A and B are shown apart, each in its own frame.
Chain A
């Protein structure tokens, strides 16, 4: 049993988002990065399957040198080994190109189960999981809130609107993209962090995956032309002053609404 977990390293959720000089992404210098929140739930789910039986958990991430930190964290939490796809040629890739790189890793690893988050906290496309499954030729389910072994595959619950759940069965091999909150994510233990130092991180470039010349902005079918602060509507009237002054105004409003 082998589980491949796809992780993305993204700007920390509290990081300051300043637009870069080209106006097409944020300034990444000097900000903190973390493992994409959705992906931490996917890793936890993989580790739970490993804890319950025999499984090798392989984590894969695409990105520059800083991604090593995310992979070390994942290894510290209990993953067995890591693949780091690193190549400056990859810059400017869209979700489909990223999916092709991951599919090439998937072909080499041939996992029984691929786990990843529903979406990333930066791009928010939620595209890579279904694309990767399509390119690997395996069934998939997204926004999964529970995973249970069933026959030769898994029975999963997908989150629908308003809290309803759709129960789906997937035969192995398959891909499961998890919704946030399906489990409580563990922290890496000190022992785990020490052990992680000896675990291998295999670094691969686009050429190693048979995709030299087919990645990056030139291969992408979509491009971000510009990013900008959302167009503001009227917005809130901002109450200013000392705490007492602010509270007085809020109480007056609550009275006006007839709630006091």
Chain B
């Protein structure tokens, strides 16, 4: 397949797990692996990555690259592509990855594959329709920019021969300006400590039903109420109730998902739960893939009856 360039990403000064997953992805595609580390004061991390599957690691080390900036990072990635002669560029589909990767494809007029979670028989596999279907995507020609779903493959944890090479990047043309990162505000509802979470999704239908149907079951079980993103987006519940990659990541002893179809962003936030019960009318809902027990039925029949039975069992 020729040359593959892995664009790594740093978080809190260290190369993140997702970048090591890209090594596994690159090995699956097959080819000569090279890597790119972007940041400020990142020589140590680059040295380390070179010995852990990164191969020749190009280092774009510049004070202006200390924080993510779409223009500066695009310049660094293009310099990395030029230096490595890469055909395929792999980048994690994270908030910075999805922000910059398509720009590179458009600038170079090459194929772009978004959020691939696997590579099989010469094609990339990715989710479509919010997780309801998968697609096999073929690329015309040799060149492609591919963003990869974090967590899709196990991170490479072997060692390898590798070395680093400094890369000069001109970031003077940057127009977008990084100001600051605001950390999440302290949450009014800390779902991460709840032993039982009863969550509702779009299937709950309206905000009153959360109070009338979902909250009582959570109360009966001595747990907390959660919600999926569409519920929060619609303003039915405040953001602090949101379980998912952009909300809280939870691992209760029991998670009961009511009327939640199971978009990836929600699954990421709750699939680590000890036990999952899903109640949904649609038997094909992806939530049943991560649940241990499933009920294909109207939540408005099951949940109130379950609440009453739980209350009765407690005496």
The one of B98, B111, B233, B254 in contact with A181, judged by C-beta atoms closer than 8 angstroms, is: B233
Contact partner of B295 among A220, A228, A246, CB < 8 A? A246
> Per a CB cutoff under 8 Å, which of B222, B246, B296 touches A159?
B246
Tell me the B253-295 residues at the A interface (CB within 8 Å).
253-254, 274-278, 283-284, 286, 288-289, 291-295
A247-259 vs B: 1/0 string, CB under 8 Å? Answer: 1111101110111
Chain A, range 211-260, C-beta contacts under 8 Å to B = 220-233, 235-239, 243-244, 246-251, 253-255, 257-260
> Does chain A have a CB within 8 A of B166?
no
Interface assignment of A29: CB less than 8 Å from any CB of chain B: no
Q: A121-B129, A158-B99 are in contact. Are A243 and B70 (CB under 8 A)?
A: no
B305/A223 in contact, CB under 8 A: no
| Beta-carbon contact of A243 and B297 below 8 Å | yes
* Chain B residue with the shortest CB-CB distance to A169: B177
Stretch at the interface among B22-30, B43-51, B306-314: B306-314
User: Could you tell me if A17 and B129 are in contact, using CB atoms closer than 8 angstroms?
Assistant: yes
Q: Which stretch, B157-165, B180-188, B208-216, touches the partner chain A?
A: B180-188
Residues of A within 8 A of B181 (CB): 160, 164-167
Instruction: Say yes or no: is B167 at the interface (Cβ < 8 Å to chain A).
Output: no
* Contacting residue for B313 out of A133, A141, A260, CB 8 A: A260
Q: A121-B129, A243-B301 in contact; A157/B71 too (CB < 8 A)?
A: no
Q: In the docked arrangement, what's the CA distance between A151 and B131, Å? A: 40
| Known interface pairs A124-B130, A126-B98; A248-B309 also in contact (CB < 8 Å) | yes
- The answer to whether A127 and B114 have CB atoms under 8 Å apart is yes
Q: Is the CB of B140 within 8 A of A123?
A: no
Closest to A103 in B: B106
Residues of chain B with a CB closer than 8 A to A248's CB: 309
B103:A131 contact, CB within 8 angstroms:
yes
Q: Give A143's nearest chain B residue, CB to CB.
A: B95
Give A163 to B162 CA distance when docked, in angstroms. Answer: 36
Is A193 an interface position by the 8 A CB rule? no
Q: Does A210 interact with chain B (Cβ within 8 Å)?
A: no
The reply on B247 being an interface residue by CB < 8 A is yes
Shortest distance between the CB of B214 and any CB in chain A (Å): 15
What's the Cα separation between A121 and B276 when bound, in Å? 26
How many angstroms from the CA of A227 to the CA of B175 in the assembled complex?
39
Residues of chain B with a CB closer than 8 A to A96's CB: 105-106, 109, 111-112
Chain B residues contacting A224 (CB-CB under 8 Å) are 135-137
Indicate if the CB atoms of A255 and B115 lie closer than 8 Å.
no
Structural contact, A250 and B306, CB atoms closer than 8 A: yes
Contact in complex: A236, B291 (CB < 8 Å):
yes
Of the candidates B111, B248, B293, which one forms a contact with A250 in the assembled complex, judged by CB atoms under 8 Å apart?
B293
Residue of A nearest to B308 (CB): A247
Could you tell me the distance between the alpha carbons of A249 and B183 in the complex, rounded to whole angstroms?
42
B111 touches A243 (CB 8 A): no
Could you list which residues of chain A lie within 8 angstroms of chain B, going by C-beta atoms?
11, 13, 17, 19, 26, 37, 94-96, 99, 121-135, 138-143, 155, 157-171, 174, 179-181, 184, 220-233, 235-239, 243-244, 246-251, 253-255, 257-260
What 16 additional pairs, Cβ within 8 angstroms, besides A134-B102, A141-B176, A142-B99? Answer: A122-B128, A126-B114, A130-B98, A142-B98, A157-B182, A159-B246, A162-B184, A163-B239, A226-B135, A227-B133, A230-B286, A237-B293, A247-B306, A250-B295, A260-B313, A260-B314
Ranked 6 nearest A-B pairs via Cβ: A236-B294, A181-B233, A163-B184, A221-B111, A130-B102, A131-B106
Provide 20 A-B residue pairs closer than 8 Å at the C-beta atoms, listed in order of the A residue.
A13-B202, A37-B233, A99-B106, A123-B128, A124-B127, A124-B130, A139-B70, A141-B176, A164-B184, A165-B181, A165-B182, A168-B69, A180-B233, A181-B229, A224-B135, A227-B128, A227-B133, A227-B136, A235-B289, A254-B254
